[in-house]
Structure 1
Amino acid sequence: MAPDALVRLDKVSKIFPGGIVGLDAVDLDIAPGEFLTLLGPSGCGKTTSLRVIAGFENPSSGRVLLEGRDITGLRPFDRPVNTVFQDYALFPHMDVAENVGFGLSLRKLSGTEQAKRVGEALEMVGLADKLGARVLELSGGQRQRVALARAIVCEPRVLLLDEPLSALDAHLREQMQVELKRLQSSLGTTFVMVTHDQTEALSISDRIVVMNKGRIEQIAPPAILYDRPATKFVASFIGTMNLLQSRFVGRAGERLRFAAGKLPLEAVSETGETPAAGETRTIGVRPEDLLVVTEAAEGTAPARVSGIVFHGRTLRLHAELGQGTSIVIDAPRRADGFQFSVGDVAHISLRRGANCPVLAS
């Protein structure tokens, strides 16, 4: 266990009836005060991991540790952990203050102390003026804040969030992402969030755990995960990535030189390996790391445009490099520059200094 870990999953597995593997010997350390996000497609094990930490699921094997203490056998309400559910799970017959104070009512606190803590929690989430409001009178964003206030009022060591923003529209969702990060920073509480939304995970997490088929593919801060994905799955799941089968042609200092058809590439390998000449590897290339011009030049390769998607200040070009290789390029949309139409040939090259990873299977 890492010396500073608050929560640890120690080789946790979960097998559901029928032999369905939910988690496969997962090891995970969660640091005090961090915002950790479990990210992945449906069925990857992220929600099962959250439920195991909360105590709603018992692992088939392995342990859950809190500050080194085994809490695997503790019931959910005996753990210093609270959960904000996807549907908020508020009581419609109670007003806001009663909802927020429900957990406190089960503790031996005076009415004055309960009211004080409820007021402080609602102040933190910006709903101090909604103490007596009925839940059904609130907007979706306000209900989400009430659910957060109810979770933090009991001062949990760990706050678990199960896709807490999925019911909100896009604009409100972005606002609440900022609010969630602000709240977590001000409280200093460890937040563990589940989401399938990569943009959400990248925008507010300190670290992201990418999961696939019950296993962890990679754990890293957002920038490292985006710039240096470790596997093909992570590269394809985080953002848009061209996965190009490329032939090794030599070295340029610390960088490895490859060719994807006629397109010259330079890449970096986390393992430090140097392939033999002519060996192929999968190279990840972000669309924004490709430059496009109208005329052929040294270091460029022709690509025939097969589709164009408007992305505001950029045009996303879908093109064919030849031999059945598809590629996606983000090109600036400039009023004074060239434009493309389907069927045109663009000449593309790799942006100097681009960090293109050599990807593991």
Structure 2
Amino acid sequence: MVRDPLLRLEAVSKVFDGGTIGLDNVDLDIGHGEFVSLLGPSGCGKTTSLRLMAGFEQPTSGRVLLDGQDITALRPYDRPLNTVFQDYALFPHMDVSENVGFGLTLRKISGAEISRKVKEALDLVGLGDKIHARVSMLSGGQRQRVALARALVCSPRVLLLDEPLSALDANLREQMQIELKRLQARLGTTFVMVTHDQTEALSISDRIVVMNRGRIEQIASPAELYDAPATRFVAHFIGTMNLIEGKALETTGEFHRVAAGPMTLEVPADGAAPAPGAPVLVCIRPEELSVLASPSDDAVAAQIMSTVFYGPMLRLFVEIGGGQKLMIDTPRRTAAGTFEAGALVHVRPNRGSGRILSGS
């Protein structure tokens, strides 16, 4: 829970014509100066949430609050929020300065003041030298920066970003992720971004809201989401995860011990101790399993089914006793020429890795 949130969705639901549920009783607090990403698959409710914040949609029930004031009924242009759209929505018949200054022309501001603000906004996004360029002459990355400048020039309390980088190629997208985070940190403005790209959300967000079927599955920092997913959905959606069915053995000190076929896992005891013999579901990342060249008391035999090349890493798909299949990430430099399909290796779970999932 955020103390004194800047933006709040309070018990918000949205049901579209035909009965489709866009949001289902969502509560969400966003703090001053946060970079928050709404993350999830298509149809999860993330874009609906953003449109409700912006005023492009009205909730079926619930309220939208800004600094404690109910803004649910306010029209989009009466809210101190601006939106950067997925397609940038630039005016092709205007040059860069006219696009950036368009919102200011609707206010009682002098021409000189508009020119000053436009120049400051373009300098902020590194396009001061493109002030009189035609939009059609700009690259995708430059158009994205113009859209950002146009949204920022009016000094919004909150900047809403609707998948702003999705049209960019991979290299430019990565560069713009860094620029977005740098810009947000410099301005101190609250950013709320919709994305379906988990890597993007993990790399630049202060907190991530993982959504599924109109509800929030988990809200947490990138590290917490990655290390301690709260539900099976989050475990599947964030990164790559092994899900292992097992039985609880005992809790000793800071670890739960779990039997999973021939393998024994020792996972952090950060929740209620399961009863001995109770079925549990453990999630463990591929990098939290080690491959040994020779047998060990705490390792189990495994057969390599296939391998995938990931630059400095190899991902091994192996099978251990009982038919349990696992993914393991191991450094390629130490594994070159060693891990071929059909080879036998020994797998050891790192002590203190993985989590018992308590959510659905």
Are the structure 2 counterparts of residues 335 and 64 from structure 1 closer, same or farther at C-alpha, using a change threshold of 3 Å?
A: closer
1:125 Cα deviation after fit = 0.1
1:290-309 residue CA offsets vs partner (Å, 9 max, x unmatched)? 00012221111122211100
Q: CA deviation at 1:357?
A: 4.0
Contact in 2 for aligned 1:266/1:356 (Cα 8 Å): no
Match of 1:117 in 2: 117
**Distance change (3 Å), C-alpha of 1:56 and 1:269:** farther
CA distance in 1, matches of 2:269, 2:197: 28
**Aligned residue number for residue 137 of structure 1:** 137
State the partner residue of 2:232. 232
- The question of whether the paired residues in 1 share the 8 Å contact of 2:117 and 2:153 is answered with yes
Q: CA RMSD in A?
A: 1.4
Name the residue aligned to 2:298: 299
Q: What is the rounded CA distance, in whole Å, between the counterparts of 1:220 and 1:99 in structure 2?
A: 36
Provide TM-score, normalisation by structure 1. 0.97
| Contact 2:161 2:191 (C-alpha < 8 Å) held by counterparts | yes
Name the counterpart of 2:199: 199
Return the alpha-carbon distance in structure 2 between the equivalents of residues 77 and 111 of structure 1. Answer: 21
TM-score, normalised relative to structure 2: 0.97
- In 2, are the aligned partners of 1:268 and 1:358 still within 8 Å (CA)? no
Change (3 A) 1:64 1:317: same
In structure 1, the residue corresponding to 2:118 is in which secondary structure?
helix
- SS in structure 1 of the partner of residue 245 of structure 2: strand
Verify: 1:45 aligned to 2:45, yes or no.
yes
Q: Secondary structure at the match of 1:103?
A: helix
Tell me how far apart the structure 1 counterparts of residues 269 and 86 of structure 2 sit (CA, whole Å). Answer: 39
Q: CA deviation at 1:259?
A: 1.6
**2:149 partner letter:** A
Q: For residues 3 and 312 of structure 1, do their structure 2 counterparts lie closer, same or farther at Cα, with a shift above 3 Å needed?
A: closer
Aligned identity (percent) is 64
Determine the C-alpha separation between the residues in 1 that align with 2:27 and 2:192: 15
For residues 152 and 359 of structure 1, the distance between their equivalents in structure 2, rounded to whole angstroms, comes to: 42
2:308 partner letter: V
What is the rounded CA distance, in whole Å, between the counterparts of 2:161 and 2:335 in structure 1? Answer: 47
Unaligned residue ranges in structure 2 (runs of 5+): none
Q: How does 1:44-193 map to 2 (within 5 A)?
A: 44-193=44-193
SS of the counterpart of 2:346?
A: strand
Aligned equivalents of 2:186 and 2:331: distance in 1?
Answer: 39
For 1:72, the aligned partner's letter is T
How far residue 268 of structure 1 moved from its aligned partner, in angstroms, is 2.7
The change in CA–CA distance for 1:218 and 1:262 in structure 2 (over 3 A counts) is: same
CA distance in 2, matches of 1:82, 1:336: 50
Secondary structure in 1 matching 2:102: coil
Alignment CA distance shift 1:54-1:279 (3 Å): same
Alignment correspondent of 1:32: 32
Alpha-carbon distance in structure 2 between the residues aligned to 1:31 and 1:163 = 21
1:328 equivalenced with 2:327 (yes/no): yes
Hey, what's the Cα distance between the residues in 1 that align with 2:207 and 2:283?
21
Q: CA deviation at 1:253?
A: 1.1
Compute the displacement of 1:354 (Å).
2.3
In structure 2, the residue corresponding to 1:148 is in which secondary structure? helix
Match of 1:345 in 2: 344
- CA distance in 1 between partners of 2:225 and 2:320 (Å): 27
Distance 1:43 1:164, change over 3 A: same
Distance of aligned partners of 1:261 and 1:341 in 2 relative to their CA distance in 1, 3 Å threshold: same
Shift of 1:360: 2.0
C-alpha separation in 2, matches of 1:3 and 1:262:
47
Aligned letter for 1:295? Answer: S
Distance 1:36 1:340 in 2: 41
Aligned residue pairs: how many?
Answer: 360
Q: Which amino acid aligns with 2:22?
A: G
Aligned mates of 2:129, 2:336 — CA distance in 1: 53
Quote the residue 1:315 is aligned against: 314
Alignment match, 2:222: 222
Partners of 2:133 and 2:323 in 1: CA distance = 60
Runs of 4+ in 1 over 4 A off after TM superposition: 335-338
Cα distance in 1 for residues equivalent to 2:141 and 2:236:
31
For residue 208 of structure 2, what is the aligned residue in structure 1?
A: 208
* Letter aligned with residue 351 of structure 1: N
Letter in 1 for 2:359: A
1:228, CA displacement in angstroms?
0.8
Give the distance between the partners of 1:157 and 1:146, measured in 2 at CA: 19
Gaps of 5+ in 1: none
Q: Distance in 1 between matches of 2:302 and 2:121?
A: 56
CA–CA separation in structure 1 for the residues paired with 2:338 and 2:127: 49
2:214 partner letter: G
Contact 2:262 2:322 in 1 (8 A): no
